Amino acid sequence: MSSNDSGTANIVGVYFRVGKKIGEGSLGVIFEGTNLLKLTTVAIKFEPRKADDPRLRDEFRSYRTLAGCPGIPQIYHFGQQGLHNILVMDLLGPSLEDLFNMCGRKFSIKTVSMAARQMLSRVQAIHEKSLIYRDIKPDDFLIGCPGTKAANLIHVIDFGMAKHYRDPKTKQHIPYRERKSLNVMARYMSINTHLGRERSRRDDLEALGHVFMYFLRGSLPWQGLKAATNEQRYDKIGEKKMTIPINDLCEGYPEEFGVYLHYVRKLGFEETPDYDFLRELFTRVMRINGDVDDGVFDWNLLNGGEGWETSQGQAQALVQMQNAGLAPAPQDQRKDLERRRDADWRRASQAGGVNPPSQVDAINPFARPRGDGTVEAGDDNPYNNFFGVRFRRLWKASPKPTERAPDGNIGGGDDDTECDKDVDRPRVSSALTFLHYYLTAVHRTTAKAKADKCSLLAQRPFRPMISPLRMTMLTITCRGMLQGKTPLPSMMRRKTKEMRTS
């Protein structure tokens, strides 16, 4: 998928434009993208549909299961685009691994304790939804975008390896098995995973404990081991983990980290962990050291307290984000998007004589079309921008009643007949106005349904949500009206008049 194509070649999911590539891994490629309705930046993951081990659909299902949980990014679209599966989601900040590198590969006890509490809460939320993550590593824990309320909220992403450890309805736990294959990062995996045992909640928590010690120590004793094959290397790492006493691993650090590892390694296969007890361990560490969970991490203190965003290596860090490193957009992203949109309009003008958008539309992305084809400022209804960009082009290009269309007809009529007076700018106005107010009503009805915590189906008369397919059909219908090939129904004329006079 090239991000340099012009026109609609780089549009996916109806209104997401693909930008530059920001990450690549064994499972696919991640691009920075733009939500053209709201002018916000998103992340777009591409996975080949014929991949040897496709996981993006399973990842989407996990996100859908976890929707609404703190620290879980919002998903905007999942579908197929050409030869790829695509997933559109929130664009987040750097991963804990990236921040770890920015901080000189050492975190303070306070930062590790605060991060541990948040990471435990994320894993607990995953477990409460009957899922286990199975591939815990620092690369998959990301902070939010700078300058937002969630700037230091730790998120978890990349659920390609997630699996149900129990039936979501019956709560029946999966059976214990052995001789399981190893397909995750060996550095943090639990000892039981090395032994080929079926993974459960205890293994996620043990892997977290190894991540905590990695942050404190800067490295783990089993890193850098050499072997002829991956299988032999996995065996060496497993032997090293089993032979190093926990007290030696945690020597020189608060005893609570050793207590944590002792506890999680003794958990039974189906045993429910005491997450509150584990979180309290790190609260106690901060209390003993005289620290408080004030949300100030080591990366916030870089560059004299200005934070990681101003570090000299930020540009390189953002470009070199790994598969999970979804970099935030710069502060002037909105202006950049407006410049891109103006460039699109210039290209369209050269091709079809379309005038550029008005200043109101350039300032307000939610501008609303008036009856004369101009725009006025609107609210935060995403369909306003859809109409301001899409249908105003048709308005500008539509022939006036006295003009002849390329086929020789007045106002774009059929081949053998002249169009009537409705097939001109008033017709365009009616079509635009009707569709605009219809979608606005749907948008507000949807918001009301969410506010009232009831189903959209209970909100009359606008029962159906506007799916991409329905949006496409409405566009085709409107285009037919503009060209005089589709009669404007009397219901539309009547409803439009009522809406415009109300």
Identify which of 139, 226, 228, 233 has the alpha carbon closest to the alpha carbon of residue 186: 233
Rounded-to-10 torsion of CA 330, 8, 90, 141: -80
| Burial (CB count <10 Å: 0-12, 13-18, 19+), residue 316 | exposed
Q: How far apart are CA 251 and CA 144, in angstroms?
A: 33
Q: How far apart are CA 203 and CA 184, in angstroms?
A: 12
How many CB atoms are closer than 10 A to CB 241?
Answer: 20
Q: How far apart are CA 46 and CA 80, in angstroms?
A: 9
Contact call for residues 184 and 193 (beta carbons, < 8 A): yes
Catalytic residue, candidates 90, 98, 135, 203:
135
User: Does the annotation mark 332 as catalytic?
Assistant: no
Q: How far apart are CA 252 and CA 259, in angstroms?
A: 14
Q: CB-based contacts of 88: which residues, under 8 Å, 6+ apart? A: 12, 13, 16, 33, 42, 43, 44, 45, 75, 76, 77, 78
Backbone torsions φ then ψ of 430, nearest 5 degrees? -65, -45
Rg of the chain (C-alpha set):
28
Identify which of 209, 159, 166 has the alpha carbon closest to the alpha carbon of residue 189: 209
Q: How far apart are CA 113 and CA 115, in angstroms?
A: 5
- Under DSSP, is residue 431 helix (H, G, I), strand (E, B) or coil? helix
Q: Which residue has the tokens 């980290």?
A: 257
Contact call for residues 166 and 124 (beta carbons, < 8 A): no
Q: How many helices (H) and strands (E) does the chain have?
A: 17, 12
179 to each of 67, 176, 240, how far by Cα in Å? 33, 11, 20
| 438, two tokens | 């219809």
Contact call for residues 162 and 125 (beta carbons, < 8 A): no
Q: Which residue has the tokens 């507000």?
A: 444
CA-CA-CA-CA torsion sign (290, 142, 136, 100): negative
Q: Taking CA 121 as the corner, what is the angle to CA 116 and CA 124, rounded to the nearest 5 degrees? A: 120
Q: How far apart are CA 92 and CA 326, in angstroms?
A: 5
Catalytic residues: 135
